Structure 1
Amino acid sequence: MNPMLRAALIALTGLFFINSAQARSFRTVVIDPGHGGHDKGGQWGLVYEKHLALDTSARLEKELKKRGFRTVMTRRSDHFISLPERVRLTKKHRNAIFVSVHYNYTWKQGVSGIETFYTSSQSQPLASYVQSGMMSKVRTTNRGVKFARFYVIRHNTCPAILVECGFVSNSTERSRMKSAWWRQSLAEGIANGIVRYRKS
């Protein structure tokens, strides 16, 4: 192999491992409760995604603080924040990861389950650990880890994921998510996944 090419490959390999280490050395978790204000998200009757996401996010923050993380919430009450503003708030924090919390909806009422989305390759391991963490805490359909181009994860430069914690449109999951134990279990699962990701 050409000596210059060999040197370049070694340098790139070293950079890869440095970036991987930096991705795991974060201290801050930016928690993004989806929707808010006039943006209700998915809804069925008086069950609104925006309320479920905020409550689950608040529980997640408590769990992460117990585990020694610094946390930032993009919203703490029922008000609207634009997608660009959510990204801007995240980029103010160094050594951070981003977790956007949502609940799902579809017109097919039989669809159920939990899934986690990522955009960049650096975010895929985080998504996998968090998905596994949630599935270890609740019994439902595992919809897996998937690539997507949602604005808040596509425009963030740090490891960023978006979790969907069940379908508001599914009667069984809707009855569960209305109970505190479901939201608490998911918050604990997400937190456990984040811990495993940092230790990996």
Structure 2
Amino acid sequence: MNSMFPAVLVALIGLFLCNSAQAFRTVVIDPGHGGHDKGGQWGLVYEKHLALDTSARLEKELKKRGFRTVMTRRSDYFISLPERVRITKKYRDAIFISVHYNYTWKQGVSGLETFYTNSKSKPLAAYVQSGMMKKVRTVNRGVKFARFYVIRHNTCPAILVECGFVSNATERSRMKSAWWRQSLAEGIADGIVRFRRS
């Protein structure tokens, strides 16, 4: 009986750490849309392509910082919302970042915003939003509550990032350039690091 005690103690400590908001080493990166689901678009500028490229850059940045990464998709194909959540739930030590670009019929609207659903995800959203705003000059639309499927159904800290408006001419011009997508990827990664250290 005594010989089992250390193993039980280690298991309990591991369970506690996995359930702690900052105790993670895996980042599940979810490039929004894909395949027939183009997302927001203006001409030949598709959200699905921008999200995938930004996500790939984010993965590189996170690997450089020592994180394990999981991509819900690595090329241009459709994946359902429940499947994106199912992939994430395979990892006990994970956080979830869904990468999107925005669209509205009001072409003057611009800026970055980050969404969360619950209290354990709000600090992650705040750090990531701050990280992005330190990298680029645009409107800070802030951190907001939302009930998007992929963040509402995940049990780990989960956020959805909107990296600018495809429908805004100025931001559309920027997001077509690699420096914009790279800067945002670095900003998101910086925010994740700050969240883990908090």
Asked if the contact 2:101/2:164 (under 8 Å) is kept, the reply is yes
What root-mean-square deviation, in Å, do the aligned CA atoms of Structure 1 and Structure 2 show?
1.1
CA contact (8 A) 1:24 1:199 kept: yes
Change (3 A) 1:95 1:20: closer
- SS of 2:21's partner is helix
Looking at structure 2, the residues matched to 28 and 98 of structure 1 have their Cα atoms a distance apart, in angstroms, of 9
Tell me the residue number matched to 2:10.
Answer: none
Which residue matches 1:68? Answer: 66
Question: What is the aligned counterpart of 2:189 among 183, 188, 191?
Answer: 191
- What displacement does 1:185 show? 0.0
Map 1:55-94 → 2, pairs under 5 A? 55-94=53-92
Report the alpha carbon displacement of residue 58 of structure 1 after superposing the two structures with TM. 0.0
1:23 CA drift (Å): 1.2
Structure 1 pair 74/20, CA: closer, same or farther in 2 (3 Å)? closer
Aligned to 1:164: 162
TM-score, normalised by the number of residues in structure 2: 0.91
- Does structure 2 retain, via aligned residues, the 8 Å contact 1:23–1:95? no
- Counterpart AA for 1:26: F
Match of 1:178 among 150, 169, 176: 176
Moved over 2 A (4+): 18-21
Contact 1:28 1:93 in 2 (8 A): yes
With normalisation by structure 1, the TM-score equals: 0.90
Cα deviation code 1:92-140 (max 9, x no counterpart):
0111000000000000000000000000100000000000000000000
- Give 1:123's aligned residue: 121
- Aligned sequence identity (%): 87
